[in-house]
A and B are shown apart, each in its own frame.
Chain A
């Protein structure tokens, strides 16, 4: 299954799993990046990193290497 960093802007999907067990993992959970949540990749920053997604009706930005820990479908 792909991870979030591989998706192009405009793609919609669903969170399957957040890997890792550290501050980033915890923060992602707190921000609503949990199993089953739907999201849409909105855009990339001018320099390609970080990226912005829309999730739970709000906008969330995260770095590519953080997005790599998020498995999506």
Chain B
């Protein structure tokens, strides 16, 4: 049996940790969440030298304080799960700050191996690092690596195994904090050691240091200890002693000493060129975040991102659509018509297609964001935008979720994870739904097309602006009244620009894409089925008219009318010959309608072509041509009447279905806003997914199946309906803009916010806001005589 090892990968953000993790584990990765928090946890496996090594990717952090979830997660893992080795990935060209984290892993008492990453870049910048010297000074093995070129992995694993087996031959020396702090640490350490339960779990030295730093998580743990009173008074005494003698608080002094240790180490082991050259990255940055060009360049990049997402994914969206269209047709052909066919085709395939049809767009958006992130631009975007976002009580990093919200609210909510403070995150998530997402666009296309056609683009843009205005306004209100307090510290590294690797980009894109699929996919399919059930049952409600009798009547009339034509057939010379002639006529017509559908030529040109070929056949057979034309006219008249009845029946069925009854029941709620029962149903369906609003109207207006992109007949029907006025349409669009985000977004919100309280609040406040604003718009408009 293979011997087992567990190692944890740690390191600063931008130290190249991800590429080393990918190199070590390849495709054998598992992405999940750390228990209880929405921090991503990645795990993978690799084999080396008879060992089966489990690799845990810790969140990228600069330190191990109690101030951020990521840092608490990282240190708790090292304390509680006790990995055999902590591999600390250190950026070789930025040693000083990177080693700060290393000193803290040493304090924790973990066995550390240091991956001196991007050592090629350091060499290029003529930074000379004496690896052996560094190992001795740190008491830990140091291995040069180049993560993105997959170099040094074997040596790294070799060092891991050696360290795990305690065969490094290096002497470990603790970091000293100077003659003022060290004796105090020892005093506190002594008291802590009296509690044997604590000693089993923690390094007493580490606890003592953390207590001097006022670490709130450690204090929470120690409060349960029987010797807590003694510890607390000793800590207070020590802190006062240090403050009195040095004039600085213990926290600052300890940080100073850690950096002092690092300075000593780098002085001995690292040689740097006297004069630093201006790197390529610095030169790029001089232009990109320039005071004059910074904002225009930012806007250009954001425009590019949206363009890339929507135009770039177009071809793939087309593939997905045709695939699901084909699948639906194929399934309909195989499964006999009836309730089961409807379930499979409309319920399942329609539902899954709804999600997957959107998937390429989401993938492209994530790819675009990965490019911005991996290249280092994203941090600059935050830098440029922070002033504006801060005005509205948001953090610079909030711009990203709001931007993604233009595509889809679901990944936007997930992207708000990058915000460190919970308050910032909540506020950003609460207002994200006001940004018009891709699924809402058809609603605006329909109503603007019907009522505001002349100034369509302006009105559309106006709604985008209204949405953004509500987002920032509500954010400000929440910041002031609901979640007061300063935004999280902005202190943030601006990483050097890098050329992203294809592998890294694809992995980033896929990780987020997969989360979207898994979360959204399952829920949307379930909801699609529920909607289908709600609108399909009861199958046979009591109709106001006897549609079946009407259908039968039409069929009967038709049969009577066609009969004389059929009788007229026999008069020709030869029955078979006549059928052939008929087929020729029909051939001309079907060729005509196929050409119209393909849109090969102008309609008029096609019609002309049809008439020419028809005339050619007509000449030798005038009698048959006359009969054919008569027959055709009768048939199409009959088909039209039948479709009308079928659509009226479908509309009534929908009105009387369970979902329709709910729509009627809630209609009084919407009455003051000027909406009828149809709009009530459409809005209700819109809670499931905004994509269905237009489709629901299509059915309710007896249009049969309505493709959201082909709404001309529906638009005309709505224009003709006297119950719609421009004011009502405007109010409806306002309501759609503000009311609750779709079901999937709400579920994701709940997962990210992690409490029913906030989910309930989201549902209530968005609905209330939508209602109140719509009420003001509608009643105000009526009072002004705009209705």
Query: Which chain A residues have a beta carbon within 8 Å of chain B's beta carbons?
Result: 17-18, 21, 23-37, 43-50, 52, 56-63, 66
Contact = CB atoms under 8 A, between A and B. Distances in A.
B94 A56 contact: yes
B386 A63 contact: yes
B489 A27 contact: yes
Contacts of A52: 289, 383, 494
Contact of A50 (B249, B259, B276, B490): B490
A49 B291 contact: no
Interface stretch (B250-258, B529-537, B590-598): B250-258
Given A45-B386, A45-B387, A46-B292, A26 B251 contact: yes
Given A32-B259, A58-B97, A45 B489 contact: no
Given A43-B291, A59-B494, A30 B63 contact: yes
B295 interface: yes
Nearest to B297: A46
Contacts of A26: 63, 65, 67, 251
A32 B97 contact: yes
Interface string B377-408: 00100011011101000001000000000000
Interface in B462-518: 488-496
B387 A48 contact: yes
Contact of A23 (B97, B255, B489): B489
Contacts of A35: 252, 256
Residue among A30, A33, A34 with max Cβ neighbours from chain B (10 Å)? A30
B383 A50 contact: yes
Contacts of B67: 23, 26-27
Interface string B298-315: 000000000000000000
Contact of B251 (A24, A29, A66): A29
Residue among A33, A43, A58 with max Cβ neighbours from chain B (10 Å)? A58
Contacts of A34: 252, 255-256, 259
B384 A29 contact: no
Contacts of A63: 386, 390, 490
A57 to B, nearest CB: 6
A20 B197 CA distance: 35
B63 to A, nearest CB: 4
A26 B424 CA distance: 19
Contacts of B489: 23-24, 27-28, 62, 66
B62 interface: yes
Contacts of A32: 96-97, 100, 259
Nearest to B66: A26
A24 B251 CA distance: 13
B19 interface: no
A23 B62 CA distance: 14
A72 to B, nearest CB: 15
Given A27-B489, A29-B252, A46-B295, 6 more contacts: A24-B491, A36-B256, A45-B384, A57-B97, A59-B496, A66-B491
Q: Give the interface size bracket for B toward A.
A: 35 or more
A66 to B, nearest CB: 6
B294 interface: yes
Given A21-B249, A30-B65, A50-B383, A60 B93 contact: no
A50 B256 CA distance: 25
A55 B643 CA distance: 75
Interface of B: 62-63, 65, 67, 93-94, 96-97, 100, 248-249, 251-252, 255-256, 259, 276, 285, 289-292, 294-295, 379, 383-384, 386-388, 390, 396, 488-496
A30 B98 CA distance: 10
A21 to B, nearest CB: 7
B255 A57 contact: no
Contacts of A31: 62, 97, 491, 493
A29 B251 CA distance: 9
A-B CB proximity, top 4 nearest: A30-B63, A47-B387, A46-B294, A29-B255
B385 to A, nearest CB: 9
Contacts of B387: 45, 47-50
Residue among A29, A44, A52 with max Cβ neighbours from chain B (10 Å)? A29
A27 B97 CA distance: 12
A49 B251 contact: no
Nearest to B247: A17
B494 A61 contact: yes
Contact of A56 (B97, B292, B379, B388): B97
A21 B458 CA distance: 51
A24 B487 CA distance: 11
Residue among A23, A46, A61 with max Cβ neighbours from chain B (10 Å)? A46
B490 A62 contact: yes
A73 to B, nearest CB: 16
Contacts of B291: 43-46
A52 B65 CA distance: 24
13 contacts: A18-B252, A29-B255, A30-B65, A34-B255, A37-B259, A45-B289, A45-B384, A50-B386, A50-B396, A52-B383, A56-B94, A62-B492, A66-B489
Contact of B96 (A30, A44, A57, A60): A57
A30 B492 contact: no
A50 to B, nearest CB: 5
Contacts of A30: 62-63, 65, 100, 255
A18 B488 CA distance: 18
A53 to B, nearest CB: 10
A58 B259 CA distance: 15
A63 B491 CA distance: 7
A25 B259 CA distance: 16
A55 to B, nearest CB: 8
A61 B383 contact: yes
A38 to B, nearest CB: 11
Contacts of A28: 489, 491
A21 B491 contact: no
Contacts of A43: 289-291
A4 to B, nearest CB: 12
Nearest to B388: A47
A60 B396 CA distance: 15
Contacts of B379: 61
A63 B489 CA distance: 8
A61 B62 CA distance: 15
B383 A45 contact: yes
